[in-house]
Amino acid sequence: MSSSLASFGARKIGAALVTLLLALTAAFALGHLSGDPVYNILGPLAQREQIDAMRADLGLDKPIAEQYVTYLGDTVRGELGDSLQYFRSNSELISSRLPQSLQLLVAAIVLAILIGVPLGTLAAVKEGTWWDRAASTVALLGQSVPVFWLGLMLILIFAVQLRLLPSGQSGGLDHLILPAITLSLLPLAHIARLTRASMAEVLAEPYIDAARARGLSTRRIVGLHALRNAALPVLTVTALQTGVLLSGAVAVEYVYSWPGLGTLALEAVQFRDYTLAQAVVIVGAVAFVVLNLLVDLLYVVVDPRLR
């Protein structure tokens, strides 16, 4: 049993490493496919010597294969290079922005779970009723409303008209509310829909009838017997949605002038700061892979049959 668990873990970790390597390669390719970075930075009026000097400085004069190997080696050692616009190390820049992004991300995903799971459960338990239709409508809206539009509308209503909440910048909890709501809506909708489908399926299982026949309370049957079994697909989608959030955060951070990784990535792209853009992509990829690995391991905790 434990040996199969160990091989399960080893397989998952191996797959995660392969994914990571592919992501690193893609990040490298992106930096080199979007035109010559040195031209882009120095502009059309640059002198030949300037260009050559900068090339040598960045190691861009070496063969592409050598650059790739150097890049991989540096990345593994945690060296993400220096930003071309801020003249600081990328890791420093990222670690100064990461806490804000994490704060926003965690708030959004917690909100999505705390509202999405009960909403989907309610819809499944009250299948075909007004509750069900209301929940489905919310889910549909959440999936179809563009994030930037929603962000602007919330700012317009709560910050400009009602003056209840700040319109942007990070700060206290009140600053977090609007961006977190905006960012949470899409994953909330996905989680609610999937919870509904998964719960509806589980509620039709014979062991749910058997639990009812044993005279257990509806609360216990839905909250423990059904939800525990319905949790697996919901976990998967939550992890995937968290990955999607990483990109959704760019738009949300921009709309709310939130000083996180998303705005940093935007700044990098606008300034053609390819080393910084690369570094942000790497950090995002690592976060995504680690998150998925954690979910795979969490499966084993939730479903004893996988042990």
Partner 1 sequence: MTATAAPQTAAAEPALRIDDLRVEARLADDTLLLVDGLDLDLRPGEIVGVVGESGSGKTTLVRTLIGLLDKNVTVTAGAVAVGGEQVLAPGVDRTEAVRGARIGTVFQDASRSLNPVLKVRSQLREVLKAHKPQLSKAEAAEKMRTVLRRMQIDDPERVLGSYPHQLSGGQRQRVAIALAVVSEPQIVLADECTTALDVTTQAEVVALFRDLVAELGVALVFVTHDLLLAADLCDRIVVMYGGQAAEVGPTRRVLLAPRHPYSAGLLAAVPSWSADGPIRGIDGSAPRVTTAFSGCRFAGRCPRADDDCRSAPIPWSGAAGTRDGYRCIHPLAAAPAPAPAQAASGSAADR
212 binds partner 1 (CB under 8 A): yes
Among 65, 76, 162, 213, binds partner 1 (CB under 8 A): 213
Exactly one of 207, 247, 257, 270 binds partner 1 (CB under 8 A); that residue is 207
Instruction: Report the DSSP beta bridge partners of residue 82.
Output: 89
CA-CA distance, 21 to 270, in Å (whole number)? Answer: 26
Task: Pick from 48, 77, 219, 305 the residue near partner 1 by CB under 8 A.
Answer: 305
Q: Does 129 bind partner 1 (CB under 8 A)?
A: no
How far apart are the C-alpha atoms of 290 and 306, rounded to whole Å? 20
Q: Tokens 């260009």 correspond to what residue?
A: 51
Please identify, among the stretches 107-115, 142-150, 207-215, 237-245, the one whose residues bind partner 1 according to the rule CB under 8 A.
Answer: 207-215
Distance from the Cα of residue 21 to its chain's centroid: 19
CA–CA dist 26, 199 (Å, integer): 38
The reply on whether position 132 binds partner 1 by CB under 8 A is no
225 contributes a contact to partner 1 by CB under 8 A = yes
Our CB check for partner 1 shows the closer of 36 and 209 to be 209
Query: Is there binding between residue 215 and partner 1 (CB under 8 A)?
Result: yes
Helices (H), the chain: 2-33, 37-42, 48-58, 64-76, 90-125, 130-144, 147-154, 173-203, 206-213, 218-220, 227-255, 261-270, 274-302
Window contacting partner 1 (CB under 8 A); options: 4-12, 146-154, 246-254, 296-304 = 296-304
CB 287 within 8 A of CB 239: no
Applying CB under 8 A, among 11, 228, 247, 270 the residue interacting with partner 1 is 228
User: Is position 214 an interface residue for partner 1 (rule: CB under 8 A)?
Assistant: yes
210 scored as a contact of partner 1 (CB under 8 A): yes
- Give yes or no for residue 304 binding partner 1 (CB under 8 A): yes
Look up residue 169 and give its two tokens: 């910048």
Closest separation between CB of residue 204 and partner 1, Å?
11
Angle at 99 (CA atoms; ends 94, 102), nearest 5 degrees: 105
Token output for 16: 């995660």
Question: Crossing angle, helix 90-125 and helix 274-302, to 10 degrees?
Answer: 40
Applying CB under 8 A, the span of 27-35, 92-100, 201-209, 245-253 interacting with partner 1 comes to 201-209
Footprint of partner 1 (CB under 8 A): 205-207, 209-217, 220, 224-225, 228-229, 302-305
